[in-house]
Amino acid sequence: MAFLKNLLSGLEKKKVLPVQKKFPIVCPHCFRKFEPEEVVFRATHSKEDDEEYALQEDEKLNAYLEKFRMEGIEELEAVIDPRTIPIEKSVYVDEVLISIKDKYDIETKKRLCPFCHNDLPYSAGRTPSNIIAIIGASQVGKSVYMTSLIHTLETSTAHNFNAACMPINSDTSRRFRDQYQDPLFVQNTLVESTQKEKKQEPFIFQFKFKDTQKPPLSLVFFDVAGEGMVEEEYIDLYANHIKNATGILFLVDPLQLSAIRSKIILNQGDKNGDFTSKYQESRDVVVTLAENFIGLQEDGKTPIPTAIVVTKSDMLEYLAKDGDDYVKANSNMFNNYVHKAYFNLDEHENISGEVQRFIEKVDLAFMDAIEVHFSNVSYFAVSALGQNPVEGKVEGVIEPTRVDEPFLWLLYKLRFIGAGERVK
Protein backbone atom coordinates (compact mmCIF):
# COMPACT_ATOMS: atom_id res chain seq x y z
CA MET A 1 0.00 0.00 0.00
CA ALA A 2 2.83 2.40 0.87
CA PHE A 3 4.51 1.57 -2.45
CA LEU A 4 1.33 2.40 -4.37
CA LYS A 5 0.91 5.65 -2.44
CA ASN A 6 4.48 6.73 -3.22
CA LEU A 7 4.00 5.83 -6.89
CA LEU A 8 0.82 7.90 -7.14
CA SER A 9 2.56 10.75 -5.32
CA GLY A 10 5.41 10.63 -7.83
CA LEU A 11 2.98 10.71 -10.73
CA GLU A 12 1.22 13.68 -9.15
CA LYS A 13 4.51 15.63 -9.00
CA LYS A 14 5.21 14.90 -12.67
CA LYS A 15 1.96 16.38 -13.88
CA VAL A 16 2.70 18.82 -16.66
CA LEU A 17 0.87 22.10 -16.64
CA PRO A 18 -0.77 23.03 -19.93
CA VAL A 19 1.44 25.21 -22.12
CA GLN A 20 0.08 28.69 -22.70
CA LYS A 21 -0.49 29.10 -26.43
CA LYS A 22 -1.77 32.65 -26.76
CA PHE A 23 0.07 35.76 -25.57
CA PRO A 24 -0.55 39.52 -25.74
CA ILE A 25 1.31 41.17 -28.61
CA VAL A 26 3.66 44.13 -28.25
CA CYS A 27 4.15 45.74 -31.65
CA PRO A 28 7.91 45.87 -32.40
CA HIS A 29 7.38 49.16 -34.24
CA CYS A 30 5.00 51.38 -32.23
CA PHE A 31 5.19 49.30 -29.00
CA ARG A 32 1.44 49.36 -28.37
CA LYS A 33 0.12 46.28 -26.58
CA PHE A 34 -2.96 44.39 -27.76
CA GLU A 35 -4.57 40.95 -27.90
CA PRO A 36 -3.99 38.57 -30.88
CA GLU A 37 -7.62 38.82 -31.98
CA GLU A 38 -7.20 42.57 -32.51
CA VAL A 39 -4.81 42.19 -35.47
CA VAL A 40 -5.85 43.34 -38.93
CA PHE A 41 -4.69 42.01 -42.31
CA ARG A 42 -3.26 43.45 -45.51
CA ALA A 43 -4.97 42.17 -48.68
CA THR A 44 -2.66 40.40 -51.15
CA HIS A 45 -4.42 41.81 -54.22
CA SER A 46 -6.39 44.84 -55.39
CA LYS A 47 -9.56 45.45 -57.44
CA GLU A 48 -9.88 48.73 -59.35
CA ASP A 49 -13.65 48.33 -59.71
CA ASP A 50 -14.16 47.68 -55.99
CA GLU A 51 -13.65 50.76 -53.80
CA GLU A 52 -13.15 48.62 -50.72
CA TYR A 53 -10.32 46.61 -52.33
CA ALA A 54 -8.79 49.29 -54.59
CA LEU A 55 -5.25 50.51 -53.97
CA GLN A 56 -5.47 53.29 -51.37
CA GLU A 57 -3.57 55.41 -48.87
CA ASP A 58 -2.96 53.78 -45.49
CA GLU A 59 -3.38 56.73 -43.14
CA LYS A 60 -2.22 54.90 -40.00
CA LEU A 61 0.96 53.61 -41.64
CA ASN A 62 1.76 56.99 -43.17
CA ALA A 63 1.21 58.72 -39.83
CA TYR A 64 3.75 56.33 -38.31
CA LEU A 65 6.27 56.98 -41.11
CA GLU A 66 5.77 60.75 -40.87
CA LYS A 67 6.54 60.63 -37.15
CA PHE A 68 10.04 59.41 -38.02
CA ARG A 69 10.42 61.80 -40.95
CA MET A 70 10.20 58.90 -43.39
CA GLU A 71 8.52 59.19 -46.77
CA GLY A 72 4.91 58.02 -46.89
CA ILE A 73 3.51 55.43 -49.31
CA GLU A 74 0.94 56.68 -51.82
CA GLU A 75 -1.03 53.49 -52.40
CA LEU A 76 -1.21 50.07 -50.81
CA GLU A 77 -3.55 47.09 -50.77
CA ALA A 78 -6.57 47.38 -48.50
CA VAL A 79 -6.56 46.68 -44.79
CA ILE A 80 -9.07 44.00 -43.79
CA ASP A 81 -10.74 43.78 -40.40
CA PRO A 82 -11.05 40.03 -39.66
CA ARG A 83 -14.30 40.68 -37.80
CA THR A 84 -15.90 41.18 -41.22
CA ILE A 85 -14.79 37.73 -42.36
CA PRO A 86 -16.90 34.57 -41.73
CA ILE A 87 -15.35 32.32 -39.11
CA GLU A 88 -15.07 29.43 -41.58
CA LYS A 89 -12.65 31.54 -43.65
CA SER A 90 -10.34 32.14 -40.69
CA VAL A 91 -7.36 29.90 -39.84
CA TYR A 92 -6.11 29.55 -36.27
CA VAL A 93 -2.85 27.99 -35.04
CA ASP A 94 -2.28 27.60 -31.30
CA GLU A 95 -5.55 29.52 -30.76
CA VAL A 96 -4.11 32.52 -32.66
CA LEU A 97 -5.61 33.84 -35.90
CA ILE A 98 -2.88 33.63 -38.55
CA SER A 99 -4.71 33.96 -41.91
CA ILE A 100 -8.04 34.77 -43.51
CA LYS A 101 -9.70 34.50 -46.92
CA ASP A 102 -11.28 37.72 -48.13
CA LYS A 103 -14.59 38.08 -49.94
CA TYR A 104 -12.87 37.06 -53.17
CA ASP A 105 -11.73 33.86 -51.45
CA ILE A 106 -8.07 34.93 -51.67
CA GLU A 107 -5.94 34.15 -48.64
CA THR A 108 -3.72 36.62 -46.80
CA LYS A 109 -1.29 35.94 -43.96
CA LYS A 110 -0.08 39.54 -43.71
CA ARG A 111 -1.00 40.43 -40.15
CA LEU A 112 -0.68 44.07 -39.13
CA CYS A 113 -0.59 46.02 -35.90
CA PRO A 114 -4.05 47.59 -35.51
CA PHE A 115 -2.48 50.89 -34.36
CA CYS A 116 0.34 51.56 -36.86
CA HIS A 117 -0.39 49.01 -39.63
CA ASN A 118 3.22 47.74 -39.71
CA ASP A 119 3.80 44.05 -40.40
CA LEU A 120 3.88 41.72 -37.42
CA PRO A 121 6.27 38.74 -37.13
CA TYR A 122 4.69 35.35 -37.72
CA SER A 123 5.27 34.39 -34.07
CA ALA A 124 3.32 37.39 -32.71
CA GLY A 125 0.68 36.17 -30.28
CA ARG A 126 2.12 32.66 -30.19
CA THR A 127 5.18 33.49 -28.10
CA PRO A 128 5.83 36.05 -25.36
CA SER A 129 7.05 39.38 -26.75
CA ASN A 130 10.31 40.45 -25.11
CA ILE A 131 11.99 43.72 -26.03
CA ILE A 132 15.67 43.87 -25.08
CA ALA A 133 16.89 47.48 -25.02
CA ILE A 134 20.63 48.03 -25.46
CA ILE A 135 21.49 51.50 -24.18
CA GLY A 136 24.54 53.54 -23.26
CA ALA A 137 26.39 56.74 -24.07
CA SER A 138 27.85 57.57 -27.47
CA GLN A 139 30.54 55.21 -28.82
CA VAL A 140 30.21 52.82 -25.90
CA GLY A 141 30.19 49.92 -28.37
CA LYS A 142 26.49 49.02 -28.52
CA SER A 143 26.53 47.91 -32.18
CA VAL A 144 29.62 45.72 -31.69
CA TYR A 145 28.25 44.23 -28.47
CA MET A 146 24.85 43.46 -30.03
CA THR A 147 26.57 41.77 -32.96
CA SER A 148 28.81 39.67 -30.73
CA LEU A 149 25.89 38.80 -28.42
CA ILE A 150 23.53 37.62 -31.16
CA HIS A 151 26.34 35.72 -32.90
CA THR A 152 27.15 33.96 -29.61
CA LEU A 153 23.48 33.18 -28.93
CA GLU A 154 23.12 31.59 -32.37
CA THR A 155 26.37 29.61 -32.40
CA SER A 156 26.73 28.36 -28.82
CA THR A 157 24.48 29.74 -26.06
CA ALA A 158 21.21 28.40 -27.46
CA HIS A 159 22.77 24.93 -27.84
CA ASN A 160 24.00 25.07 -24.23
CA PHE A 161 20.37 25.52 -23.13
CA ASN A 162 18.97 22.88 -25.50
CA ALA A 163 17.45 25.54 -27.73
CA ALA A 164 17.92 27.33 -31.04
CA CYS A 165 18.20 31.06 -31.70
CA MET A 166 17.09 32.11 -35.18
CA PRO A 167 16.10 35.28 -37.03
CA ILE A 168 12.33 35.65 -37.28
CA ASN A 169 12.40 35.97 -41.07
CA SER A 170 14.70 36.16 -44.10
CA ASP A 171 14.77 39.98 -44.03
CA THR A 172 16.08 40.04 -40.45
CA SER A 173 18.60 37.33 -41.32
CA ARG A 174 19.86 39.28 -44.35
CA ARG A 175 20.05 42.66 -42.56
CA PHE A 176 21.87 41.24 -39.55
CA ARG A 177 24.31 39.25 -41.71
CA ASP A 178 25.07 42.03 -44.21
CA GLN A 179 25.16 45.02 -41.84
CA TYR A 180 26.57 43.48 -38.66
CA GLN A 181 27.73 39.86 -38.59
CA ASP A 182 29.79 39.55 -41.80
CA PRO A 183 31.63 42.88 -41.43
CA LEU A 184 32.72 41.92 -37.89
CA PHE A 185 33.18 38.14 -37.94
CA VAL A 186 34.16 37.63 -41.59
CA GLN A 187 35.90 40.88 -42.57
CA ASN A 188 37.22 41.68 -39.05
CA THR A 189 36.01 45.27 -39.46
CA LEU A 190 34.24 47.22 -36.73
CA VAL A 191 30.52 47.80 -37.16
CA GLU A 192 29.81 51.47 -37.84
CA SER A 193 28.23 53.49 -35.06
CA THR A 194 24.48 54.00 -35.32
CA GLN A 195 23.57 57.40 -36.78
CA LYS A 196 21.31 59.54 -34.62
CA GLU A 197 19.12 60.68 -37.53
CA LYS A 198 18.45 57.16 -38.79
CA LYS A 199 15.37 55.21 -37.73
CA GLN A 200 16.54 51.76 -36.71
CA GLU A 201 14.44 48.73 -37.60
CA PRO A 202 14.26 46.08 -34.87
CA PHE A 203 16.14 42.81 -35.09
CA ILE A 204 13.67 40.10 -34.11
CA PHE A 205 14.92 36.64 -33.15
CA GLN A 206 13.19 33.61 -31.73
CA PHE A 207 14.76 31.64 -28.87
CA LYS A 208 13.03 28.27 -29.06
CA PHE A 209 13.63 25.38 -26.68
CA LYS A 210 13.70 21.80 -27.96
CA ASP A 211 11.54 20.84 -24.99
CA THR A 212 8.03 21.61 -26.24
CA GLN A 213 6.85 22.07 -22.64
CA LYS A 214 8.91 25.28 -22.47
CA PRO A 215 7.40 28.27 -24.27
CA PRO A 216 9.57 29.90 -26.93
CA LEU A 217 10.24 33.61 -26.69
CA SER A 218 10.56 36.36 -29.24
CA LEU A 219 13.53 38.69 -28.74
CA VAL A 220 13.40 42.19 -30.16
CA PHE A 221 16.83 43.88 -30.15
CA PHE A 222 17.29 47.59 -30.81
CA ASP A 223 20.56 49.35 -31.60
CA VAL A 224 19.95 53.04 -30.87
CA ALA A 225 22.36 55.95 -31.28
CA GLY A 226 24.29 56.74 -28.11
CA GLU A 227 24.38 60.45 -28.96
CA GLY A 228 20.60 60.57 -28.64
CA MET A 229 20.58 58.84 -25.26
CA VAL A 230 21.25 62.16 -23.54
CA GLU A 231 18.48 63.98 -25.45
CA GLU A 232 14.91 63.79 -24.20
CA GLU A 233 13.46 64.50 -27.65
CA TYR A 234 15.45 61.65 -29.21
CA ILE A 235 14.38 59.13 -26.60
CA ASP A 236 10.75 60.18 -26.98
CA LEU A 237 10.92 59.64 -30.75
CA TYR A 238 13.50 56.96 -31.52
CA ALA A 239 13.92 55.04 -28.29
CA ASN A 240 10.38 54.75 -27.01
CA HIS A 241 10.87 50.98 -26.81
CA ILE A 242 12.93 51.43 -23.63
CA LYS A 243 9.76 52.27 -21.71
CA ASN A 244 8.23 48.97 -22.82
CA ALA A 245 11.37 46.83 -22.54
CA THR A 246 11.30 43.47 -20.81
CA GLY A 247 14.98 43.82 -20.00
CA ILE A 248 17.70 46.46 -20.38
CA LEU A 249 21.39 46.02 -21.19
CA PHE A 250 23.03 49.27 -20.02
CA LEU A 251 26.57 49.45 -21.43
CA VAL A 252 29.39 51.39 -19.76
CA ASP A 253 32.73 51.95 -21.54
CA PRO A 254 35.67 52.03 -19.08
CA LEU A 255 37.73 53.91 -21.70
CA GLN A 256 35.36 56.86 -21.30
CA LEU A 257 36.06 57.17 -17.58
CA SER A 258 38.58 59.96 -17.02
CA ALA A 259 39.69 58.42 -13.72
CA ILE A 260 41.25 55.40 -15.42
CA ARG A 261 41.53 56.24 -19.15
CA SER A 262 45.02 57.78 -18.87
CA LYS A 263 46.25 54.85 -16.77
CA ILE A 264 45.06 52.34 -19.39
CA ILE A 265 46.69 54.29 -22.22
CA LEU A 266 49.96 54.62 -20.26
CA ASN A 267 50.12 50.95 -19.29
CA GLN A 268 49.22 49.81 -22.79
CA GLY A 269 52.68 50.96 -23.89
CA ASP A 270 53.45 50.51 -27.58
CA LYS A 271 50.31 48.46 -28.29
CA ASN A 272 48.40 50.93 -30.43
CA GLY A 273 44.64 50.70 -30.24
CA ASP A 274 41.50 52.69 -30.90
CA PHE A 275 40.16 54.90 -28.10
CA THR A 276 36.83 56.62 -27.89
CA SER A 277 37.08 60.21 -29.06
CA LYS A 278 33.74 61.41 -27.68
CA TYR A 279 33.04 61.71 -23.99
CA GLN A 280 29.60 61.37 -22.50
CA GLU A 281 28.85 60.60 -18.91
CA SER A 282 26.89 57.39 -18.37
CA ARG A 283 25.16 59.24 -15.55
CA ASP A 284 23.72 61.68 -18.13
CA VAL A 285 21.94 58.76 -19.81
CA VAL A 286 20.33 57.88 -16.47
CA VAL A 287 19.27 61.52 -15.97
CA THR A 288 17.61 61.64 -19.40
CA LEU A 289 15.80 58.34 -18.80
CA ALA A 290 14.62 59.65 -15.43
CA GLU A 291 13.27 62.82 -17.05
CA ASN A 292 11.57 60.88 -19.83
CA PHE A 293 9.86 58.00 -18.05
CA ILE A 294 11.52 56.54 -14.93
CA GLY A 295 10.78 59.59 -12.82
CA LEU A 296 7.08 59.24 -13.61
CA GLN A 297 6.88 55.74 -12.13
CA GLU A 298 6.19 54.79 -8.53
CA ASP A 299 9.02 55.90 -6.23
CA GLY A 300 10.83 57.24 -9.31
CA LYS A 301 12.28 53.79 -10.03
CA THR A 302 11.86 51.26 -12.84
CA PRO A 303 11.44 47.56 -11.99
CA ILE A 304 12.65 46.49 -15.46
CA PRO A 305 15.54 44.02 -14.94
CA THR A 306 18.66 45.99 -15.90
CA ALA A 307 22.12 44.56 -16.47
CA ILE A 308 24.89 47.13 -16.01
CA VAL A 309 27.53 45.91 -18.45
CA VAL A 310 31.12 47.16 -18.38
CA THR A 311 32.36 46.67 -21.94
CA LYS A 312 35.93 46.17 -23.26
CA SER A 313 36.89 44.27 -20.11
CA ASP A 314 40.08 43.07 -21.82
CA MET A 315 41.43 46.63 -21.52
CA LEU A 316 41.11 46.51 -17.72
CA GLU A 317 44.05 44.10 -17.59
CA TYR A 318 46.28 47.15 -18.05
CA LEU A 319 44.91 48.54 -14.78
CA ALA A 320 45.96 45.41 -12.94
CA LYS A 321 49.58 46.36 -13.63
CA ASP A 322 49.23 49.79 -12.04
CA GLY A 323 48.93 48.69 -8.43
CA ASP A 324 46.02 51.05 -7.68
CA ASP A 325 43.75 48.14 -6.78
CA TYR A 326 41.06 49.10 -9.31
CA VAL A 327 41.03 45.50 -10.49
CA LYS A 328 43.14 42.47 -9.58
CA ALA A 329 45.20 40.49 -12.09
CA ASN A 330 43.30 37.28 -11.23
CA SER A 331 39.88 38.92 -11.60
CA ASN A 332 36.99 36.84 -12.92
CA MET A 333 36.44 39.63 -15.45
CA PHE A 334 39.31 38.29 -17.57
CA ASN A 335 38.17 34.67 -17.59
CA ASN A 336 35.41 33.48 -19.88
CA TYR A 337 32.67 31.42 -18.28
CA VAL A 338 30.09 29.33 -20.10
CA HIS A 339 26.71 28.83 -18.42
CA LYS A 340 25.18 25.51 -19.48
CA ALA A 341 21.66 24.19 -18.82
CA TYR A 342 21.15 26.67 -15.98
CA PHE A 343 22.34 30.08 -14.80
CA ASN A 344 25.13 29.60 -12.27
CA LEU A 345 24.30 31.84 -9.32
CA ASP A 346 27.69 31.40 -7.62
CA GLU A 347 29.51 32.58 -10.72
CA HIS A 348 27.04 35.43 -11.15
CA GLU A 349 27.41 36.66 -7.58
CA ASN A 350 31.20 36.65 -7.87
CA ILE A 351 31.35 38.63 -11.11
CA SER A 352 28.54 41.00 -10.11
CA GLY A 353 30.25 41.81 -6.82
CA GLU A 354 33.60 42.46 -8.51
CA VAL A 355 32.13 44.76 -11.16
CA GLN A 356 30.03 46.64 -8.62
CA ARG A 357 33.10 47.32 -6.48
CA PHE A 358 35.03 48.42 -9.58
CA ILE A 359 32.34 50.94 -10.61
CA GLU A 360 32.16 52.27 -7.05
CA LYS A 361 35.87 53.07 -7.27
CA VAL A 362 35.91 54.67 -10.73
CA ASP A 363 32.45 56.30 -11.07
CA LEU A 364 30.59 56.54 -7.78
CA ALA A 365 28.22 59.21 -9.14
CA PHE A 366 26.98 56.80 -11.83
CA MET A 367 26.56 54.02 -9.27
CA ASP A 368 24.48 56.30 -7.05
CA ALA A 369 22.29 57.34 -10.00
CA ILE A 370 21.65 53.68 -10.88
CA GLU A 371 20.69 52.79 -7.32
CA VAL A 372 18.31 55.75 -7.16
CA HIS A 373 16.42 54.97 -10.38
CA PHE A 374 16.69 51.17 -10.95
CA SER A 375 15.31 48.65 -8.49
CA ASN A 376 16.29 45.37 -10.24
CA VAL A 377 19.99 45.57 -11.18
CA SER A 378 23.02 43.33 -11.55
CA TYR A 379 26.56 44.02 -12.78
CA PHE A 380 28.65 42.37 -15.50
CA ALA A 381 31.89 42.76 -17.47
CA VAL A 382 32.22 41.65 -21.09
CA SER A 383 34.61 41.87 -24.00
CA ALA A 384 32.81 41.65 -27.33
CA LEU A 385 36.08 41.18 -29.26
CA GLY A 386 38.67 40.01 -26.74
CA GLN A 387 41.00 42.84 -27.85
CA ASN A 388 41.17 46.54 -28.65
CA PRO A 389 40.91 47.09 -32.43
CA VAL A 390 43.50 49.09 -34.35
CA GLU A 391 42.25 51.60 -36.94
CA GLY A 392 38.85 49.92 -37.03
CA LYS A 393 40.26 46.45 -37.70
CA VAL A 394 40.39 43.39 -35.46
CA GLU A 395 43.54 41.31 -35.63
CA GLY A 396 43.28 37.53 -35.68
CA VAL A 397 40.40 35.55 -34.19
CA ILE A 398 37.61 37.34 -32.32
CA GLU A 399 37.25 35.78 -28.87
CA PRO A 400 34.24 37.21 -26.98
CA THR A 401 34.38 36.99 -23.20
CA ARG A 402 31.21 36.53 -21.09
CA VAL A 403 29.09 38.39 -23.68
CA ASP A 404 25.99 36.26 -23.12
CA GLU A 405 26.08 36.36 -19.30
CA PRO A 406 24.04 39.60 -18.90
CA PHE A 407 21.45 38.28 -21.37
CA LEU A 408 21.19 34.94 -19.55
CA TRP A 409 20.65 36.81 -16.29
CA LEU A 410 17.69 38.56 -17.95
CA LEU A 411 16.30 35.18 -19.07
CA TYR A 412 16.71 33.92 -15.51
CA LYS A 413 14.95 36.97 -14.04
CA LEU A 414 12.13 36.53 -16.58
CA ARG A 415 11.88 32.82 -15.57
CA PHE A 416 12.72 31.35 -18.95
CA ILE A 417 15.73 29.45 -17.61
CA GLY A 418 16.50 28.00 -14.23
CA ALA A 419 19.39 28.67 -11.89
CA GLY A 420 21.65 26.62 -9.68
CA GLU A 421 24.89 26.79 -7.76
CA ARG A 422 28.33 25.66 -8.80
CA VAL A 423 28.89 21.92 -8.51
CA LYS A 424 31.64 21.48 -5.92
Structural domains of the chain, ranges and CATH numbers in brackets: 25-112 (no CATH), 129-420 (3.40.50.300)
Backbone CA torsion sign across 178, 180, 184, 185 = negative
**pLDDT by 10s per residue, the chain, length 424:** 555 555 444 444 334 445 567 899 989 888 889 999 999 999 999 999 999 999 999 999 999 988 877 888 999 999 999 999 999 999 999 899 999 999 999 999 999 999 999 999 888 999 888 888 888 877 778 889 999 999 999 999 999 999 999 998 898 999 999 999 999 999 988 876 655 455 667 788 999 999 988 888 888 887 666 555 556 666 666 667 788 889 999 998 887 776 676 666 555 555 555 555 555 667 777 877 777 778 767 788 889 999 999 998 888 877 766 556 778 878 888 899 999 999 999 999 999 999 999 999 888 888 998 999 999 999 999 999 988 777 778 888 889 999 999 999 999 999 999 998 654 3
DSSP state of 162: T
The DSSP bridge partners found for residue 220 are 131, 204
Q: Is 268 helix (H, G, I), strand (E, B) or coil?
A: helix
The DSSP bridge partners found for residue 344 are 420
d(C-alpha 121, C-alpha 304), whole Å: 24
| C-beta neighbour count of 71 within 10 angstroms | 8
Closest CA to 250 of 259, 239, 261: 239
- Chain-centroid distance of CA 161 in Å reads 18
d(C-alpha 258, C-alpha 344), whole Å: 34
Beta 129-136 vs 163-167: how paired, if at all? unpaired
Give me the amino acid identity at 140. Answer: V
